[in-house]
Amino acid sequence: MSGRQPPLWIWIAVPVAVLFGLLTIRSGGAVLFFDGAARQAAGNYVPFVLWFNFLAGFAYVAAGIGLWFRRAWAAPLAAAIAMATILVFAALGIAILTGAGYEMRTVAAMTLRSSIWIVIAAAAYGSGYRRSA
């Protein structure tokens, strides 16, 4: 890591990415691996979305750490997370249109996830971050 102070967007994006990732792993893992209150509270969850989000949580943490340490792979990882999230969101839309059960909060969460990662990826590429590693 160079001696330069990280830009302001890094001070915002890194804690968001890491905290969001850890919370995603915790909440997704509780529904996937433990039969109980978390699973019941999840309601009509869509299994492929839940699995994607759980696994993506690990990528969120990795991307956040990579961004903090200015690794060249962090910006492409953020973009890949954004693209994969949008694709899963589209698949959720198709599942909903074909009659699958779902929770409206899943749609809201996927909107939030997509937006966050689009912004983080755009900031990483827009600031020339990838080239500074």
Q: Tell me what pLDDT residue 43 has.
A: 84
Ranges assigned E (strand) in the chain? none
Q: Any idea which residue has 């750490």 for tokens? A: 65
Q: Tell me what pLDDT residue 120 has.
A: 96
Distance CA 116, CA 111 (A): 9
Give the 3-state DSSP-derived string for 77-107, with helices as H, strands as E and coil as C: HHHHHHHHHHHHHHHHHHHHHCCCCCCHHHH
Q: How confident is the model at residue 99 (pLDDT cuts 50, 70, 90)?
A: very high
Tell me whether residue 105 is exposed, middle or buried, using C-beta atoms within 10 angstroms of its C-beta: 0 to 12, 13 to 18, 19 or more: exposed
Compare 4 and 108 and report the one with higher pLDDT: 108
Q: Tell me what pLDDT residue 129 has.
A: 62
pLDDT value at 6 more than 80: no
Q: Tell me what pLDDT residue 2 has.
A: 52
Distance CA 127, CA 21 (A): 23
pLDDT tens digits for 9-37?
889 999 999 999 999 999 999 999 987 88
Q: Tell me what pLDDT residue 133 has.
A: 45
